[in-house]
Structures are given as C-alpha cells and as structure tokens.
Amino acid sequence: MNDSRRFSGVIAPVVTPFGEDGAPDVDRFVEHCEWLLEDGCTGLAPFGTTSEGNSIGIDEKMELLEELVDADIDPKLLMPGTGSCSVADAIIMTEQAIELGCGGVLMLPPFYYKNPSEEGLFRFFAEVIEEVGDDSLKVYLYHIPPVAQVGFPLSLIKRLRDEFPQTVVGLKDSSGDWANTKAILDAFPGFEVFPGSEVFLLEGLRNGAAGCISATANVAAKSIRNLYNNWQGADADRLQGEVTALRKAIQAYPMIPVLKGIIAHYRQDQGWSEVRPPFTEMPREEVAKAVEQLASEHGFKLSFAEND
Amino acid sequence: MNDSRRFSGVIAPVVTPFGEDGAPDVDRFVEHCEWLLEDGCTGLAPFGTTSEGNSIGIDEKMELLEELVDADIDPKLLMPGTGSCSVADAIIMTEQAIELGCGGVLMLPPFYYKNPSEEGLFRFFAEVIEEVGDDSLKVYLYHIPPVAQVGFPLSLIKRLRDEFPQTVVGLKDSSGDWANTKAILDAFPGFEVFPGSEVFLLEGLRNGAAGCISATANVAAKSIRNLYNNWQGADADRLQGEVTALRKAIQAYPMIPVLKGIIAHYRQDQGWSEVRPPFTEMPREEVAKAVEQLASEHGFKLSFAEND
C-alpha cells in the first residue's frame, strides 16, 4: 500500500434519508454514516449518485455535511460530492468541504451541456482549484458516463494531473468498463483509482487501485471490506466471487430504492424508504421479497445491534 | 390569437454576460434585456440553455432576476428558467419568480439521472407546484432532449395538464423535431407551444403555436418579430425563408460563444464575449469573420444607437 494515499479501501456513497417533511433527515443520516464506519467502510462519499446528490439542494447538502462533522465523524474520512453544472456552486461547496477539513472531494464534471471540449472541462476544474486556492484540497474526479454522459478521457486526466499534481489525486471510475479502469491504472501509477463497483475490486487491487467506491457498500461493507483486507490471501478469488454474486443480486433491483428499502426493512423504519423524484420508492412488499431472496441465496442480513 | 395566452411572439433565452471577476455582470445583463425588448422580443427567458443557466449559481440567478425587476422590466414579460436536478432548488427559484411577479417559469425536468420513470417526473413537477402553492404560477415545460437527455413524452404532458390545468400552460420544444412539435400542437389545443427555433415559426403559427423561444433572438429579434407580426400576410413564406437562412448561418458557429461574440463586436465591448466553462469564448478574429459573413450574405447588423 502506498502510504501517501489519502483514501483507500471501501468507501460508501452514502444514501440520503428524507424526513416526513421531505427534507433530508439529519438524525437518520448521521446514524447511517456512523454505522457504515462500524460496518467496514474506510471512508464516506456523501452526495454521490447513490446519495441522490444532485437531487439535494445546495443549502441542504452544506447543512448535512456540517452535521456529520459536528457529530464527530472524522472529516478526513469524508469525500463529499461537490461537483455541479455551475462552477460557482462547485466552488461554494468545495470551499465548505475544505473549511470542514474533508479529506477530499469527489467532483462530477459539469454535465448539462453534452460533448463539451476538453479545454472547457479543463478550465472548469482549473477555476475551482484556483478559486478555492488551498493546498489541502484533494480532488477525486468522478467518471460516470452512463449517467453524467460527460466524462474524463485519459488526455484530460493527464492534463489535470500535470497542472495540479498535488490536488488532482484520484478518480472514481463508474464507467462499468474494466478496460477503462485498467487503462487509467496503467497510465497513472500512484493515482488513487477507485472502481465504482466491488465487482472490480480484486482485479483493481492487483493492478494498483486504491479500493472501491460502491453503492452497495451502503448495506454490504462488511463483506467488501473482508475482501479488501484479504486480497493478497489464498482465499481472495473465492471472496471476490461471493462479493460479486451479492452485488449482482442487489443491482438486479432499482439500486437507490432497493438500498433504502433494505435499510428501512432491517431498521424497521419505513421512513428510510423515501426517495426524491425522479425516483420512486420501492413498495414495501417488493422490498420484503428482495430481502428474502438476498437472505436465502446469499446469506445477506443487516445487523444494527451495535448502535441500537 | 388566443387572448388567454400569457406569452406569445418572440422570446429570447437571454445570454448572460460575465464581468472581469467572472461573476454575472448585472449592468450588461439589464442593458441587453432592455435592448432585446426594444429590438422586438415580446418576452425574455433568462437562465435557459443559451443563457448558460445551469452554469450560473442559484444565488447568482436569484440576484440577476431581482435586478431585472428592480430595473423596471415588466415581470409579466419574464419566463425565467427555474428547473433543477434538485426539487428543493427548483422550489426555491420558482418561489422567487412568483414573488417577483414573473409571468411564467420555464422548467427543465431533473436531468442528472437518465431514463427516469414517467411517474418520477410527474412527482417532481407535482411537488414543485404543490409546494409553491400559488395560482399565479404558470409553468412552461422545457423539452430539450438533445441536451438534457430527459424530456417530456406526450403522455407526461397530458398527465401534468390534466392534473394542473391552470398551472402547466405551455411548453418549449427544443427537440429540433417538427413532427414532435406538431404532435404536441395537435394533441393539446390551447397549450402555449413554442418551438425552440424560429426555423419552425411559420409552420408552428399555422398549427397553433404561440411563437418561438430562440437563442438567435438574442441578436435577430427584429426580423423574427417581423415574421411573427406578418405570418398571415402574403409575404410570410419569403420572410420565413430569410429568417431560416440567417438562423442556419448563425448556428453553423458554436451558438453561445458566437452570440456573445457578435454582441461584443457590435457593442465594442470585448468583455461581452466571456463564457463560463465548459464553454470557451470565440476568438475575436473568428468573430470578426463571422460578423462579416453574416453581414455580407444576410445583411445582418446589430444597432444599439437607441440606447447607447
């Protein structure tokens, strides 16, 4: 392992609970974050895609982040999503993350206009980095072309690293394309690369990845962390097989609604199943069936005994 | 013409000028809006796609809108873009538009997550409309699938109109697909439909459209308005031909940079050419060539004598 890494291991893009008034629910959020760290997460990435990050207002996000730090969660473990279509809003959120001492930020490119020029994308990040103007800023590029449509070609990654070597330190690759992840790992040794799914964790680690940032870490961090801890062991391929099978079983359902439904089920707290539009919550009876399938076929079960 | 219409004619999605500090430039913005109304615009749609609306921060947009109203521009002529990926931010901006007395709002659907369900999109708009809870709210749906990817199928338009007949009163169709515009016009008589380009203005008006909301109205409102005023005249097809030729000549260049470059050129104010990333400004010499081509081939020229 490279000791200069700020982040490594298993990072959850934390799902965001909403209260009865539709606003983000701070208590449920903090409780879930604390539990994730107990369950095996080495870091937390609030306001990612799984977090419905772009569905949450800027003021709402800034309040949630502050509450996490106020709740004594180590800010060095936090990698909040601060990207935005607007460079102005990206700067506001990134500045707050720095003020709170966050270990890094996970930044989407501006994703409204399609097929932007590489120069335009470079300028976006250059403007954020220069405006924030703080050496403690560590930017992780968020490459998720299936959703954002706009992504990071290798040439752009190279240019950003060359220009800001102390700041642009890593990338989450949610392309779902191992060949792309491998190309980035090969091209940029030392870059903190996180595949966006634990399906690629073992192959990633064998090729220099730092870990993974994965939606399903919201409910399955323990087993992913076990694989991470034992990736050089004789049992690693078998562990990866189990982790992959569970991931594929979960992602057969609509990801965000099923994750929240699973948490609602095991916490016996139906409010947890709420999502913001354009998503719709998963009906309780469908969640029950999913929970049963995951339990019987994968021995999957959540336990909150430690902090309940 | 239908007298119950709130908007009709030629509406410009106003380009947004930036100052030397990179912030939106209020003085240039107000001056341009005032000039657009003199040049023939019947309404203004700030914070649209051409406005780099999603590249402007929420606080920045709210300040600009307030400045327009403070400058005595009739709020009934304003149809600001208040859509957002976040229902929370969409509500904040829409509430402000209502407080300021805006004639309508032009709302993008939440566009981060791709292929959302129709139910999810319906809930997004229902939540905004119900939370704002004001009869004076008039929502124009903003259909621009080439950019937003997420759009409004006929079934969703129908459901929103059926549920909120006094509120969901129109649509801007920037699909670039006349067959789609025609299908909407045929399906919903009385719906205030605006093609997103003056290329479809005459055909649109002949089929019940309310006018057009077009990027190029930022520099060519006079001729588009002339067509609008004379669409039932013997000369209408010839006027449409001229309008179409100019539009096609302008859109051969990168739209937002060339519009700002043209304004910068004729105003002799280079600051006008600034764009926000992911766009890059059009080099001055390229703008000069474009201006010359448009002048020589289309007799195109901007005049600011009236208010300079």
Q: Which chain B residues touch A117 with a CB distance below 8 Å?
A: 278, 280
pLDDT at A4: 75
Give me the pLDDT at residue B303, please: 87
Q: CB distance from B56 to chain A under 8 Å? A: yes
Question: CA–CA separation, A235 vs A154, rounded Å?
Answer: 34
Contact B57 A88 (CB under 8 A): yes
Q: Tell me which chain B residue has its CA closest to the CA of residue A111.
A: B112
Amino acid type, B124: F
Q: Do A116 and B279 touch (CB under 8 A)?
A: yes
What integer best gives the mean pLDDT of chain B?
96
- By the 10 Å C-beta count (0-12 exposed, 13-18 middle, 19+ buried), B26 is classed as middle
pLDDT at B18 over 70: yes
Identify the pLDDT of residue B24: 98
Q: Say whether residue A148 is in contact with chain B using an 8 A CB cutoff.
A: yes
* Greatest alpha-carbon span in chain B: 52
- Ranges of each domain in chain B: 9-231, 252-298
User: Which burial class, exposed, middle or buried, applies to B186 when counting CB atoms under 10 A from its CB (0-12, 13-18, 19+)?
Assistant: exposed
Min CA distance, B189 vs chain A (Å)? 28
SS3 sequence of chain A = CCCCCCCCEEEECCCCCECCCCCECHHHHHHHHHHHHHHCCCEECCCCCCCCHHHCCHHHHHHHHHHHHHCCCCHHHECCECCCCCHHHHHHHHHHHHHCCCCCEEECCCCCCCCCCHHHHHHHHHHHHHHHCCCCCCEEEEECHHHHCCCCCHHHHHHHHHHCCCCEEEEEECCCCHHHHHHHHHHCCCCEEEECCHHHHHHHHHCCCCEEECCCHHHHHHHHHHHHHCCCCCCHHHHHHHHHHHHHHHCCCCHHHHHHHHHHHHHCCHHHHCCCCCCCCCCHHHHHHHHHHHHHHHCCCCCCHHHC
Nearest of A107, A108, A105, A41 to residue A73 by alpha carbon: A41
ipTM: 0.96
Q: Which fold has domain B9-231?
A: TIM Barrel (3.20.20)
Other C-beta atoms lying within 10 Å of the C-beta of residue B258: 23
- Tell me the shortest Cα–Cα distance from B25 to chain A, in angstroms: 14
Q: Does B63 touch chain A (CB under 8 A)?
A: no
CB contacts, 8 Å: B113 with chain A: 49, 54, 147, 278-279
Q: Which of A167, A216, A162, A158 is nearest to A187 (CA)?
A: A158
The pLDDT profile of chain A, 308 residues, written as one tens digit per residue, is 445 789 999 999 999 999 999 999 999 999 999 999 999 999 999 999 999 999 999 999 999 999 999 999 999 999 999 999 999 999 999 999 999 999 999 999 999 999 999 999 999 999 999 999 999 999 999 999 999 999 999 999 999 999 999 999 999 999 999 999 999 999 999 999 999 999 999 999 999 999 999 999 999 999 999 999 999 999 999 999 999 999 999 999 999 999 999 999 999 999 999 999 999 999 999 999 999 999 999 999 998 854 44
User: For the segment B125-143, what is each residue's pLDDT rounded down to a tens digit?
Assistant: 999 999 999 999 999 999 9
- In one-letter notation, the amino acid at residue B33 is C
B11 phi/psi in degrees, rounded to 5: -115, 130
**Residue B5 pLDDT:** 85
Q: How far does A160 lie from chain B, in Å, by closest CA?
A: 15
Q: How far apart are the first and last CA of chain A?
A: 35
The Cα of B15 is separated from the nearest Cα of chain A by a number of Å equal to 15
B86:A147 CB<8 A = no
- Percent of all residues in chain B with a pLDDT value above 90, rounded to a whole number: 96
Contact B150, B122 (CB under 8 A): no
The per-residue pLDDT for range B28-65, each reduced to its tens digit, is: 999 999 999 999 999 999 999 999 999 999 999 999 99
Judge whether B60 is closer than 8 Å to chain A, CB to CB. yes
Q: What is the pLDDT of residue B143?
A: 98
**How many other CB atoms are found less than 10 A from the CB of residue A241?**
12
pLDDT value of residue B167: 98
N- to C-terminal Cα separation, chain B: 35
Q: Is the pLDDT of residue B307 over 80?
A: no
Give the per-residue pLDDT at B101.
Answer: 98
pLDDT of residue A1: 43
- For position A308, what pLDDT does the model report? 45
Q: Name the phi and psi angles at A276, rounded to 5.
A: -95, 150
B133 part of contact set with chain A, CB < 8 Å? no
Can you read off the two tokens belonging to residue B154? 């006929």
- The size of the A-B interface in CB pairs under 8 A is 122
